Amino acid sequence: MSRDIYWHKSIDSTMRAAAELAGQGCPSGTVVGADEQTAGRGRHGHSWHSEAAAGLYITEILRLPVKPDELPIVTLMLGLAAAEAIFQTCGIQCDLRWPNDVLIGSRKCAGILVQLQDSAMLAGIGINVNQREFPEELRPIATSLRQASGREHSRQDLLDGLLTSIDQWSETLLTEGKEAILRLFAQSSSYVRGRQVVVDQDGSRLEGITDGLSSAGFLIVRENNGRRTTILTGGVRPA
Ligand code: BTN
């Protein structure tokens, strides 16, 4: 498929530039990427460490015929696409932590941020590719493909693989439906079932064992008091 790719040497955030393009009506599949972000955005208002020429920082504008309430499913679908691209391009097997953290072991190597802009979805993906080290506060929780494998990886090859995977997983969602995404995410994630986790959401904290995904793509946790709670948002971490 042909697509427009707007590549920047340095930009504040590819999310901001992608929102502008989406607002101007750019076609589905348009990509904004950058070698460096000076104000990379993560989930829950966090920043995304975006060292120059070390990681892959892109936002793809998607105009998929899905309903706004299927956004959580699209988020899961993008995690699957990122993990597949990392495996196929770099040979590294990743785990997925609901809703959209891509992990190597217990550390995060990629994150996904999905936002709605009018009728478009902005799929922001950051992959730590060739970072040799991280700022001190990230060291316990972050890793890069280089740190995990001991060798450099081509960001261009990974970009090509990622865009192909997103095309294919979007097709899977459209042809096989959300059930396929839910099933395949559950198969690819050690967090969906039987994991003792702590969840911080809306200022409160709960602890329990993960117990599958709801039909809308939310995580279900069986709390220690027996109550089954659907996690709509929030950070999930091992207890
Ligand atoms: C997260 O795990 O918190 C989501 C991180 C998303 C980071 C990517 S990097 C490319 C795109 N531009 C941004 O500013 N954020 C996303």
Confidence (pLDDT) at 235: 86
Asked whether residue 196 falls in the same domain as residue 220, the answer is yes
Cα-to-centroid distance, 42 and ligand 1 (Å): 5
Confidence (pLDDT) at 224: 85
Asked whether residue 111 falls in the same domain as residue 197, the answer is no
Confidence (pLDDT) at 75: 95
Confidence (pLDDT) at 54: 98
Say how far apart CA 168 and CA 105 lie, in whole Å: 26
Contact present, 54 and 129 (Cβ < 8 Å): yes
Asked whether residue 125 falls in the same domain as residue 216, the answer is no
* DSSP tag of 73: H
DSSP letters, 147-208, are HHHSS---HHHHHHHHHHHHHHHHHHHHHH-HHHHHHHHHHH-TTSEEEEEEEEETTEEEEE
Confidence (pLDDT) at 181: 98
Confidence (pLDDT) at 103: 98
Asked whether residue 78 falls in the same domain as residue 113, the answer is yes
Confidence (pLDDT) at 173: 97
Domain that holds residue 22: 5-187
Asked whether residue 136 falls in the same domain as residue 218, the answer is no
Mean residue pLDDT across the chain: 96
DSSP letters, 100-163, are TEEEETTEEEEEEEEEEETTEEEEEEEE--S-S---GGGTTTB--HHHHHSS---HHHHHHHHH
Confidence (pLDDT) at 92: 98
Residues near 223 by Cβ (< 8 Å), separated by ≥ 6?
206, 207, 208, 229
- Looking at the structure of the chain, the number of domains it has is 2
Torsion of CA 34, 40, 43, 49, to 10 degrees: 100
Q: What's the CATH number where 126 sits?
A: 3.30.930.10
Q: What's the CATH number where 234 sits?
A: 2.30.30.100
Asked whether residue 214 falls in the same domain as residue 176, the answer is no
Say how far apart CA 222 and CA 144 lie, in whole Å: 32
Confidence (pLDDT) at 202: 77
Residues 130-144: pLDDT tens digits?
999 999 999 999 999
Contact present, 74 and 114 (Cβ < 8 Å): yes
Confidence (pLDDT) at 11: 98
Greatest Cα pair distance, the chain, in angstroms, is 53
Asked whether residue 83 falls in the same domain as residue 200, the answer is no
Asked whether residue 24 falls in the same domain as residue 124, the answer is yes
Confidence (pLDDT) at 154: 98
Cα-to-centroid distance, 225 and ligand 1 (Å): 35
Asked whether residue 86 falls in the same domain as residue 197, the answer is no
Residues 74-109: pLDDT tens digits?
999 999 999 999 999 999 999 999 998 999 999 999
Instruction: Give the model's confidence band at 118: pLDDT under 50 very low, under 70 low, under 90 confident, else very high.
Output: confident
Mean pLDDT (whole number) for 37-62: 96
Q: Which residue, by CA, sits nearest to atom 9 of ligand 1?
A: 126
Q: Which residue, by CA, sits nearest to atom 16 of ligand 1?
A: 124
In the chain, the amino acid numbered 15 is M
Q: Which residue, by CA, sits nearest to atom 2 of ligand 1?
A: 111
Asked whether residue 52 falls in the same domain as residue 118, the answer is yes
Residues with CB under 6 A from ligand 1: 13-15, 37, 40-43, 46, 48, 57-59, 111-113, 124-126
Q: Indicate the pairing of strand 235-238 with strand 193-201.
A: antiparallel
Asked whether residue 41 falls in the same domain as residue 117, the answer is yes
Mean pLDDT (whole number) for 186-208: 93
Q: Indicate the pairing of strand 107-117 with strand 5-11.
A: unpaired
Confidence (pLDDT) at 2: 83
pLDDT over 80 at 230, yes or no? yes
Q: How far apart are the first and last CA of the chain?
A: 43
Q: Given the structure tokens 């099933």, which residue do they identify?
A: 183
Confidence (pLDDT) at 6: 98
Asked whether residue 151 falls in the same domain as residue 86, the answer is yes
For the ranges 43-47, 106-110, 112-116, the lowest mean pLDDT is seen at 43-47
pLDDT over 80 at 1, yes or no? no
